[in-house]
Amino acid sequence: MNTNDPHPNRLVIRGIAALLACLKHHPKALREVVATAAFAPNLAEHDAAFAELGVKTRIVGPIELAQTAEGPCDDVCALTMRPDFGLARISDFAEWRESRESIVIADGVTDPADLAAIARSMAAFGLKRLLLSGGTEKLSFHPEAWNLSRGAMEQLRLMRAAALGGLLKLVEDRCCVVALSPDIGRKIDLGVPVRVPARHLALLIPGGKLDPDIQPRVEHCYRFPGLVGQPALSLSEIAPLAIAWFASTPQPRADGFLSRKRARHAKDKGSNPTS
């Protein structure tokens, strides 16, 4: 490996789904593709793309593939090199508000399976921006998080959110934070999405209890779905439910606060002959 590589984070991805997602979304990250002789014919249609990128394909036996993949793998793996993710800035929140882009914040998530579940859920419901904070950034290049996501991590735009409490305080006029919690908050109604005119939404998913330093920055807090007193769902189980609910929230209209109400009143006036 070249020590002068500007993309210093080595990450091995396993499986054809992850490889094709990387080839589609981050082709320049690919360095080498390793496959078994039995699976190699399935890669033939991508040989031209690999050649154009300067990515070599190596055919090995099952034992060497598992060693190269650094975990269970029976078809193909790939060596990739990734750049560090950037820090989220105050100006980014202004841009996301203008583009009406909802974001998800993973705070204190320490289990790669949980981060993978969040990534899969976001990809399934069309959310793209994932901020990592509170130690979650340590999973940025964890191979299990990437492999369990089955290519979903490739589709997301990952950023780090240092000093999350302070950052959210600075952008509270631009962003409404909706948080999930295993033990506090209102009962979540999956059929009624949160409505916040004129501001874009951020869904905060904690790895455990909600950080007390962040609670003042949260406008809406909901308990994990499920009945009180019954065995609770795990974070990886509630992620698809919560993100599907969050993604169903109507986006703010471009013409600003209460525009829908004004438009309705204007229509009513025009249809009333006595007005």
pLDDT score of 166 more than 80:
yes
At residue 263 the predicted structure's pLDDT band, cuts being 50, 70 and 90, is low
What pLDDT is stored for residue 7 in this prediction?
58
| Rounded Cα–Cα distance for residues 132 and 105 (Å) | 6
At residue 210 the predicted structure's pLDDT band, cuts being 50, 70 and 90, is confident
First-residue to last-residue Cα distance in the chain:
77
pLDDT score of 252 more than 60:
no
Q: Per residue in 49-83, pLDDT tens?
A: 999 999 999 999 999 999 999 889 999 999 999 88
Q: Which helix (DSSP H) or strand (DSSP E) does residue 70 occupy?
A: none
Mean pLDDT over the full length of the chain: 85
Higher pLDDT, 256 or 138: 138
Task: Centre a 10 Å sphere on the Cβ of residue 137 and count the other Cβ atoms it contains.
Answer: 20
* Domain residue ranges of the chain, discontinuous segments joined by +: 9-82, 90-247
| Rounded Cα–Cα distance for residues 103 and 243 (Å) | 10
What pLDDT is stored for residue 59 in this prediction?
95
Q: Per residue in 174-186, pLDDT tens?
A: 888 999 988 888 8
Query: What average pLDDT does this structure show over 139-159?
Result: 91
Same fold, 9-82 and 90-247: no
Would you identify the CATH topology of the domain 9-82? 60s Ribosomal Protein L30; Chain: A; (3.30.1330)
What pLDDT is stored for residue 106 in this prediction?
94
96 contacts 189 by C-beta, under 8 angstroms: no
What pLDDT is stored for residue 188 in this prediction?
79
**CATH pick for 90-247 out of 3.40.50.300, 1.10.300.10, 3.40.50.2300, 3.40.1280.10:** 3.40.1280.10
Q: Which residue has the tokens 């992850």?
A: 18
Sequence-separated (6 or more) residues with CB below 8 Å from residue 40: 57, 59
Query: In this structure, what token pair is assigned to residue 79?
Result: 């060596």
